[in-house]
Amino acid sequence: MKDRLPNFTAEEADVVRGTIDYVGVNQYTAYYVRDRQPNATSPLSYSSNWHAEFVYKRNGVPIRSRENSDWLYIMPWGLYKAVTYVKEKYGNPTRPQCFMYENSKAQTTAEMNIRPSYSHPCS
């Protein structure tokens, strides 16, 4: 992806360096990740830029129990690791602020309970 983006001049880079306002975290599940080199015939896409493949099994064993969904697995430590990464990458962010925007578990229609939407600071 980097080669497809325009380059900043040194002056532009100085202007934007350190200007992040906030970090927003959406976290639902976790997967194993393995290297996948891009295929020359594959179309360019957001996910192909990662050069990674997301898999939920290792040696035939699922990463955890599946939720009421095809792609969600019960991963209680996944949220902790996501927020810890932000803390380690940006320091204990008060500036930029870190907000947890989305985190959830899959429910069947019968279990659904409409709740108010809100954002919550990570700290």
**41-50 pLDDT tens trace:** 777 777 777 7
How far apart are alpha carbons 75 and 105 in whole angstroms?
A: 10
Look up the pTM and report it. 0.58
DSSP β-ladder status, 32-35 and 120-121:
unpaired
Stretches where the chain sits below pLDDT 50 are 116
Q: What is the DSSP string of 86-120?
A: HHHHHSS-BTTEEEEEEE-----GGG--------E
10 Cβ neighbours under 8 A, 6+ residues apart: none
Q: Assess contact for 72 and 28: CB atoms under 8 A.
A: yes
Is 75 within 8 Å of 103 (Cβ atoms)?
Answer: no
